Amino acid sequence: MVREGMRLGKYELGRTLGEGNFGKVKYARDVESGRPFAVKILEKKRILALKIDEQIKREIGTLKLLKHPNVVRLYEVLASKTNIYMVLEYVTGGELFDKIASKGRLSEAEGRKLFQQLIDAISYCHDKGVFHRDLKPENLLIDAKGNIKISDFGLSAVPQHLGNDGLLHTTCGSPNYVAPEVLANRGYNGAMSDVWSCGVILYVILTGYLPFDDRNLAVLYQKIFKGDTQIPRCLSPSAKNLIRRILDPNPKTRITVAGIKEDKWFKQDYTPAIPDEEEEETFVDDEAFSIQEPTETVGSENVTTLINAFQLIGMSSCLDLSGFFEKEDVSERKIRFTSTYAPKDLLEKIEDIVTEMGYQVQKKNGKLRVMQQCKGSTSPGSLLIAAEVFEISSSLYVVELRKSHGDSLVYRQLCAKLSNDLGACKNQQLLTTEA
């Protein structure tokens, strides 16, 4: 259980900021610098029960690519046996939705500033190959200075999600903000569907209500397909013209992000945001993810050991875990590798492999506890090791091999064979600490 006052590595957790279907967001403070953060705590059991593990992987994999002043920053990801912890930028101003709800609508000057920031951020995301696909005021946070921060990339897409036709095919997003070509279910351009959603957001910012709305979904979709909306007379001709060009139901003739940036209304008092490129370069370097296995503590009580989860829950199906387990007791001589085989199949296959190599296996509590040389075997040396399997997700497991005694070279040869035959990636790098 995660409690207020708990230490999560260098972070001290505080009050709950929000709660969702699969976890909480808590205030956190870096005890060394005093800097505030928001920690999104995701319960693994709930994630698997709701079958949203791919969505979480996508959000983490996407956020670690993005370093823009108008995108919520992901600084670090940690994991324990029960939870995943996303250390995020702390944004204090609430949602754009709440701001509009309280004010009714924003002035064109104020609305334009927020829209410029939104387009800047989306342009940056698209340049990185990331399409948000769920843009709406609820996913736009406001910081203490009144600037927009895009959040919630759980439905985002990257180039790997494109079909053979170069288009996206997953229908997703919120009904009132989704583009007509997404609803048509014939494939769509992620950038142009995001532009449509930005247009709906601009309309809401300047009017205080939705351009397309109906309690009956069928009627709502008809309105969206037709681009059937009325633009209030109170808006300036330039603002109305831009909205019409964005809410064009035909994605081929709809204005692009580049076109929006050249629009007369948009360009007023426009200062482009500058991405944090220098910080990005250091952030994505492998050494930046090298965590010294921090510990969750309450007072002096150790709760669980944490591991750096960037490589573990990244988007690649063939995970690079190099540098993942940084701090081992060298006396344990552990070697780990990942596999996609189920635990029962893994243990059976390990038993078959080592038996063929001339070793005996003793089973205990459903685990392979001991492997030793068979009598009269020509196997090259004796070993005493234990094998254990840990579940990371419904389709990914870590095999841990621990040597009690025996020849180190023989041990590594055996581990290399097991990793090559059973690993998630052929010839993957073994994770090891040798005495």
The answer as to whether 427 is a domain residue is yes
Structure confidence by residue, pLDDT tens digits, 169-179: 666 678 899 99
- Confidence band, pLDDT 50/70/90 cuts, at residue 390: low
Q: According to the model, what pLDDT value does residue 195 have?
A: 97
Q: Is residue 312 part of a domain?
A: no
What's the chain's average pLDDT?
76
Please indicate, yes or no, whether residues 245 and 337 belong to a single structural domain of this protein: no
In whole angstroms, give the CA distance from residue 283 to residue 279.
6
Cα distance between residue 380 and residue 1, in whole Å: 48
Q: Is 275 domain-assigned? A: no
24 is annotated as contributing to ligand binding: no
* 303, pLDDT greater than 50: no
Same-domain status, 250 and 172: yes
pLDDT at 288: 27
Residue 2 pLDDT > 80, yes or no?
Answer: no
Catalytic sites, residue numbers? 134
Q: Is the residue at 115 inside a domain? A: yes
| Nearest alpha carbon to residue 254 among 168, 194, 207, 173 | 194
pLDDT value, residue 277 = 56
Over residues 72-83, the mean pLDDT reads 86
Indicate whether 297 pLDDT > 50. Answer: no
Residue 63 domain-assigned (yes or no): yes
Please tell me whether residues 254 and 195 are part of one structural domain: yes
Residue 222's pLDDT band (boundaries 50, 70, 90)? confident
pLDDT tens, 342-381?
878 888 888 888 888 777 877 766 667 656 555 555 555 5
Give the model's pLDDT for residue 347.
Answer: 83
For residue range 41-65, list pLDDT tens digits in order.
888 888 777 777 777 777 787 788 8
Is residue 432 within 8 Å of 403, Cβ to Cβ? no
Domain identity same for 351 and 425: yes
What pLDDT does residue 340 have? 76
- Are residue 195 and residue 250 in the same domain, yes or no? yes
Could you tell me the CATH number of the domain that includes residue 198? 1.10.510.10
**Could you tell me the CATH number of the domain that includes residue 39?**
3.30.200.20
Residue 273 domain-assigned (yes or no): no
Whichever domain contains 381, its CATH number is: 3.30.310.80
- For the chain, the straight-line distance linking the first and the last C-alpha, in angstroms and rounded, comes to 36
Same domain assignment for residues 102 and 54:
no
Q: Buried b / exposed e across 341-358, counting CB within 10 Å, b at 16+?
A: bebeebbeebbebbeebe
* Phi, psi for 193 (deg, rounded to 5): -70, -35
**DSSP 3-state helix, strand, coil percentages of the chain (rounded to 5)?**
35, 25, 40
Our measurement of the distance from residue 164's CA atom to the centroid of its chain's CA atoms, rounded to an integer in Å, reads 24
Please check whether residue 336 lies inside any domain of the structure: yes
Residue 133 clears pLDDT 70, i.e. is over it? yes
400 and 251 fall within a common domain:
no
Q: What's the confidence (pLDDT) of residue 371? A: 61
- Predicted pLDDT at 52: 74
Section 103-127 average pLDDT: 94
Q: Provide mean pLDDT across the span 234-250.
A: 96
Higher pLDDT, 413 or 230: 230
Asked if residue 400 lies in contact with residue 410, where contact means CB atoms within 8 angstroms, the answer is: no
> In this structure, is residue 224 part of a structural domain?
yes
What sign results for the dihedral spanned by CA atoms 343, 349, 350, 355? positive
CA-CA distance, 379 to 382, in Å (whole number)?
8
66 and 17, same structural domain?
A: yes
Q: What is the mean pLDDT of residues 73-102?
A: 87
What is the DSSP annotation of 42-107? Answer: EEHHHHHHTT-HHHHHHHHHHHTT---TTBPPEEEEEE-SSEEEEEEE---S-BHHHHHHHHSS--
pLDDT at 428 over 70: no
pLDDT band at 260 (very low <50, low <70, confident <90, very high): very high
Q: Are residues 341 and 393 in the same domain?
A: yes
| Predicted local distance difference test score (pLDDT) of residue 197 | 96
| DSSP H or E segment with residue 27 | strand 23-30
- The per-residue pLDDT for 177 is 93
| 44 closest CA partner among 312, 397, 392 | 392
Residues 161 and 293 in one domain: no
The reply to whether 227 and 138 lie within a common domain is yes
Give the pLDDT mean for 391-417: 71
Domain count of the chain? 3
What is the pLDDT at residue 57? 78
Domain range enclosing 75? 7-90+285-303
Separation CA 175–CA 183 (nearest Å)? 9
Tell whether 80 and 108 lie within a shared domain: no
**How high is the pLDDT of residue 163?**
72
How many angstroms separate the CA atoms of 132 and 125, rounded? 8
Q: Does 42 or 411 have the greater pLDDT score?
A: 42
Specify which residues 304 forms β-bridges with: 296
